[in-house]
Structure 1
């Protein structure tokens, strides 16, 4: 991206100030590679020991669906290939930089606490002219899939995502700020991180996406066979209390993700995630018959983060709260015994 700062683009080279890293700060830094998550290693090329050093990271906090890192970056020029995560970069001080992506060159001073966003599937080249502190956040593709289903009732393939490079959306700023402060916690914050990851993606979808009509392929009219549906049900029952990857579910019956999704929706009239929620609610109805189990126990056994998470989905599919359902069942049981 050398041409970004050339006269051919009618731009003036940004000044290169002296380093602001003090000796005290340097002692607190450690190479990013020593504490990075395997997710970052697999999904990005963020790891450059000599150019970015880790101040704080989300390793050890139990975060399942996102990875965060507070880093100190040296002047650099990097090409980052496309990956499947949703990426946020937040400078903690005003930061002059240049980014080239999707044929666009963006050269400006990013204000402190603003955020650049790179959508999945987008590669970019970044040139950082002076040292700076950044907060990076990566949200896994599975969350993008689930939230697209929840909000739009659509596949992720039906959602066009944009990559704004200098945003100050107040909602996203607040959520990203919360993520950064969660790095200071020493205890497992997996439940909170799951909720905040969904909230960030939902806010991103409302601001920076557009739905498109995708013509259904002829293959979508082919239903799944009884044998395939049995294997799908077995797979989902085995993952009822946790998460699953649609690609893995498709592979379990020998189909690609796209073909599986089309055939599943054609067969069941639900998306895989919606169908999983139905299975979870049905399981919850069974467990609610056992008066010894608390609502929290039922929620955990069915893959919900807590009682309120269970209640939200239970009322959506059953029409009453889990407590009301249990009370009505107990009342009917007593009545029948009399």
Structure 2
């Protein structure tokens, strides 16, 4: 890593204030549990959920030497550009789509260089939680410790929806919020355990996913043409495929339909323009490929939870 990169320990000036319910912790350091929360969740056999948010755009290096006893499940809430190392080996370099999940087993060191803003959920699952999920799924105890040892990115629409449900849920009832967070956290862990122990059958039934080098071409094409009317045939052609073969492979690689991914990228670009330019909402809509402000507002609210105007006012007020 170059010396020009920021890295921990440094003041966490880019960590945004917690904007969601108190049962989701705000991380002071990437993938690091607060001591009292860690002890409490292990004693109770719960999944601890925390959130790490980075808003600045300069490259930023983070390191974690490995959690002593818990698996760490990272779920990206937005598209992010990064280089990720797992156990000393580069696992990922480039853009990671929203909803992508990565699982790190206990005592495995990881590091990352984030080159764009990031918003990540981390779920910490103890051996007790994994064993309970396994027994609930398969109606028998697992012999020995459960190790989720495959670090490759998981793209699963169900996991994406569960993660989004965690961050959009808000309630003034602390007890109810705690129950909801624990329930959804367990659902995420349970699905990952199910994928681990049924993976061989699943791989035999599924076709190939879009290779990473073709995926990179698609991402570059979409980002370069966000203001234009892009069709499925255009995106497929950028990867060297026909529409028929492309859509299925893209969905296996990302967990998203091409159109859904395109909308996500347009909304993320719109957020950047709303935050960093003085364009009005209509001009932002046109710059992001929407043909009317009404359609833009509808899609923006579906993804972000607020209208573009309200989001901009709150974001500017938080700066």
TM-score by length of 1: 0.41
Bigger radius of gyration: 1
TM-score by length of 2: 0.43
User: Which of the pair has the greater relative contact order for Cα pairs under 8 Å at 6+ separation?
Assistant: 2
